[in-house]
Protein backbone atom coordinates (compact mmCIF):
# COMPACT_ATOMS: atom_id res chain seq x y z
CA UNK A 1 0.00 0.00 0.00
CA UNK A 2 1.38 3.37 -0.93
CA UNK A 3 1.10 6.37 1.28
CA UNK A 4 1.54 10.06 0.73
CA UNK A 5 3.45 12.32 3.09
CA UNK A 6 3.56 16.09 2.81
CA UNK A 7 6.40 17.71 4.75
CA UNK A 8 5.84 21.46 4.95
CA UNK A 9 9.22 22.37 6.47
CA UNK A 10 10.60 23.65 3.15
CA UNK A 11 7.69 26.00 2.45
CA UNK A 12 6.61 26.91 5.99
CA UNK A 13 6.57 30.66 5.25
CA UNK A 14 5.01 30.60 1.78
CA UNK A 15 1.23 30.74 2.28
CA UNK A 16 0.11 30.20 -1.32
CA UNK A 17 2.52 27.31 -1.82
CA UNK A 18 1.24 25.69 1.38
CA UNK A 19 -2.38 25.90 0.21
CA UNK A 20 -1.44 24.49 -3.21
CA UNK A 21 0.59 21.65 -1.69
CA UNK A 22 -2.30 20.76 0.64
CA UNK A 23 -4.84 20.89 -2.19
CA UNK A 24 -2.59 18.77 -4.42
CA UNK A 25 -2.02 16.02 -1.85
CA UNK A 26 -5.74 15.84 -0.99
CA UNK A 27 -6.69 15.58 -4.68
CA UNK A 28 -3.95 12.99 -5.30
CA UNK A 29 -5.09 10.87 -2.35
CA UNK A 30 -8.71 10.99 -3.50
CA UNK A 31 -7.75 10.12 -7.09
CA UNK A 32 -5.61 7.20 -5.90
CA UNK A 33 -8.27 6.13 -3.38
CA UNK A 34 -5.77 6.09 -0.53
CA UNK A 35 -6.97 5.34 2.97
CA UNK A 36 -4.90 8.09 4.60
CA UNK A 37 -2.17 10.69 4.18
CA UNK A 38 0.31 12.23 6.60
CA UNK A 39 0.94 15.97 6.79
CA UNK A 40 3.98 17.24 8.69
CA UNK A 41 3.70 20.90 9.65
CA UNK A 42 6.40 20.44 12.28
CA UNK A 43 6.34 21.52 15.88
CA UNK A 44 7.57 25.12 15.89
CA UNK A 45 5.19 27.75 17.25
CA UNK A 46 2.10 25.85 16.13
CA UNK A 47 1.03 28.49 13.59
CA UNK A 48 1.64 26.27 10.57
CA UNK A 49 -0.32 23.43 12.17
CA UNK A 50 -3.20 25.85 12.78
CA UNK A 51 -3.04 26.94 9.13
CA UNK A 52 -3.20 23.31 7.99
CA UNK A 53 -6.16 22.58 10.28
CA UNK A 54 -7.99 25.71 9.01
CA UNK A 55 -7.40 24.54 5.43
CA UNK A 56 -8.77 21.09 6.26
CA UNK A 57 -11.88 22.68 7.79
CA UNK A 58 -12.88 24.41 4.54
CA UNK A 59 -16.22 22.95 3.47
CA UNK A 60 -15.05 21.92 -0.01
CA UNK A 61 -12.02 20.14 1.48
CA UNK A 62 -13.85 18.64 4.46
CA UNK A 63 -16.26 16.90 2.08
CA UNK A 64 -13.34 14.90 0.66
CA UNK A 65 -12.17 13.17 3.82
CA UNK A 66 -13.65 11.21 6.70
CA UNK A 67 -11.66 12.45 9.71
CA UNK A 68 -8.38 13.94 10.85
CA UNK A 69 -6.22 12.79 13.70
CA UNK A 70 -3.45 14.66 15.45
CA UNK A 71 -0.59 12.36 16.42
CA UNK A 72 -0.59 12.34 20.20
CA UNK A 73 3.03 11.13 20.29
CA UNK A 74 4.31 13.73 17.82
CA UNK A 75 2.70 17.19 17.91
CA UNK A 76 4.11 17.91 14.44
CA UNK A 77 2.04 15.34 12.50
CA UNK A 78 -1.53 15.26 11.22
CA UNK A 79 -3.20 12.24 9.62
CA UNK A 80 -6.12 12.63 7.22
CA UNK A 81 -8.33 9.59 6.68
CA UNK A 82 -10.54 9.18 3.61
CA UNK A 83 -13.77 7.34 2.99
CA UNK A 84 -14.37 5.46 -0.23
Per residue in 9-66, pLDDT tens?
Answer: 888 788 889 999 999 999 999 999 999 999 999 888 889 999 999 999 999 999 999 9
Residue 1, CA distances (Å) to 7, 12, 17, 28 in order: 19, 28, 27, 15
Cβ atoms 82, 64 nearer than 8 A? yes
Cβ atoms 34, 3 nearer than 8 A? yes
**SS3 state of residue 77:** coil
**Which CATH architecture describes the domain 4-81?**
2-Layer Sandwich (3.30)
Q: Please, which pLDDT band fits residue 75 given cuts at 50, 70 and 90?
A: confident
Nearest-5° Cα angle at 55, 48 to 14: 45
* Total-model pTM: 0.89
Amino acid sequence: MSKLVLDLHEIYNKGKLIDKALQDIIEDAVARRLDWIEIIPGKGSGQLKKKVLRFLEKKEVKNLYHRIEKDRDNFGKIFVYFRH
